[in-house]
Amino acid sequence: MRKFHLINIAMIGVICLVFLALTPSCATKPGKVYKIGECQIVDHPDLNADREGFHQGMAEEGFVEGENVEYISLNAAGDMSLAHTIASRFVTENVDLIHPISTPVAQACVAAAEGTGIPIVFSTVSNPILAGLVDSWEHPGPHNITGVSDRLNTDNTLDMIKAICPDFKVMGIVYDAGEANACATVAQMKESLSKAGFAEPVEANCPTSAEVKTAAESLVGRCDVMWWPDSNTVAQGCTALVGVCEENQLPLFGPTGWSVEPEYGCIGACGVSDYTEIGIEAGHIAARILLGEDPANIAVTTPAAEQLPVLNPAAAERMGVTIPQWLLDKARKVVIE
């Protein structure tokens, strides 16, 4: 019996060693410094919060900057040729993982890293399928790519606009048609408008931030309210857009909470409450991949479906409308100027 017991113990030991050899490590490798290539398309409050959240999420999983992680954090400054150059640099330096923030740089990084095996965890990408990054939300595909989306709930946005402007008939939309994320969100808004019985919106394309003002002026007299999606180009020219809407008493609505702050001046937005949370989630996913999980088996996550509005009563007054008190009471945040 004793001999049998000893044999069993020996067999268990062998099985454990085999299991450990075949199972991905559940801890960072001692002495290794993980190199992360990180790029965002422009300097922007939401994108900056995303980046900071990513570092926080990584640290929560044991990947701490200055200890076992080195970040190569770069900014493309709105220049896509620079974005491609940055992406190529990450590949040349053979980083352990790439974290692109926003759709354009995610596309550049995916193109540069194709066939290299370098995993990519994107964040703040509105529609990764339309952008050609993944095959599906649930199963990203056979590639080393997954991430976190900031997809906007346009039904909620339309409900907010109707509450503030109950008599509006036609929506005007200003966006850069060259941005896949903006096009995806515009398509969602069109579906929301159609379901609610509204006419087709009128649209104005602005390929550069310098053209935002002209695009907005082209919609004056053709719509009752104006809205812009998650467009980096429009974000850079938002002040001019707000100026046109204030001058013509056209209520303007934006994509996320920052667009309602005084320095931008939209009336309201139903978007992601805090882009830091998107970054944190992306950081957690990146840590799982660095510890051995296959990105192709990690679903792309999205913000919560319930997105309460951020509202600016002073901006509403400047554009000739009043936000009802019940909506102010429901708001996630009321901006006071």
Q: Is residue 24 part of a domain?
A: no
Digit-coded pLDDT (tens) for 6-30: 344 444 444 443 333 333 344 667 7
Answer yes or no: is 16 within a domain: no
> Is residue 5 included in any domain, yes or no?
no
pLDDT of the residue at 28: 67
Residue 117 maps to a domain: yes
Pairing of strands 145-148, 120-123: parallel
One domain, residues 173 and 253: yes
Do 258 and 168 have their domain in common? yes
Q: What domain range is 73 assigned to?
A: 34-150+274-297
Specify whether 174 is located in the same domain as 317: yes
Beta carbons of 69 and 33 less than 8 angstroms apart:
yes
Q: What is the pLDDT of residue 10?
A: 43
CATH number, domain with residue 219 = 3.40.50.2300
How far is 226 from 172, CA to CA, in rounded Å? Answer: 5
- One domain for residues 140 and 192: no
pLDDT above 90 covers a percentage of the chain that reads 75
Q: CA gyration radius for the chain?
A: 23
Q: What is the pLDDT of residues 131-160, one digit of tens each?
A: 899 999 999 987 899 999 988 889 999 999
Query: Which residue in 286, 291, 292 sits closest to 145, CA to CA?
Result: 286
Look at residue 18 and tell me if it is in a domain.
Answer: no
Q: 199 and 314, same structural domain? A: yes
pLDDT value at residue 192:
97
Mark whether 141 and 162 lie in a shared domain: no
> Would you write out the chain's pLDDT as a tens digit for each of its 337 residues?
444 343 444 444 444 433 333 333 446 677 899 999 999 999 988 899 999 999 999 999 999 999 999 999 999 999 999 999 999 999 999 999 999 999 999 999 999 999 999 999 999 998 898 889 999 999 998 789 999 998 888 999 999 999 999 999 999 999 999 988 789 889 999 999 999 999 999 999 999 999 999 999 999 999 999 999 988 899 999 999 999 999 999 999 999 888 999 989 999 998 776 889 899 999 999 999 999 999 999 999 986 544 689 999 999 999 999 999 999 999 989 999 8
Output the pLDDT for position 315: 98
Tokens of 207: 């390929």
Residue 7 makes CB contacts below 8 A (sequence gap 6+) with none
Name the domain count of the chain: 2
Burial class (CB in 10 A: 0-12, 13-18, 19+), 156: middle
DSSP-assigned letter for residue 65? B
Considering the domain architecture, whether residues 281 and 311 belong to the same structural domain is answered as no
**Are residues 95 and 222 part of one domain?**
no
Residues 227 and 145 in one domain: no
pLDDT at position 8, please? 47
Q: Is the dihedral of CA 329, 334, 336, 337 positive or negative?
A: negative
pLDDT at res. 244: 98
Determine, yes or no, domain membership for 15.
no
What is the pTM (predicted TM-score) of this model? 0.66
* Residue 44, pLDDT score: 86
Question: Residue 334: enclosing H or E segment and its boundaries?
Answer: strand 333-334
Answer yes or no: is 8 within a domain: no
Burial class (CB in 10 A: 0-12, 13-18, 19+), 217: middle
Residues 56 and 69 occupy one common structural domain: yes
Q: Are residues 90 and 176 in the same domain?
A: no
In-domain check, residue 47: yes
- Check residue 201 and give its pLDDT: 98
199 shares its domain with 320 = yes
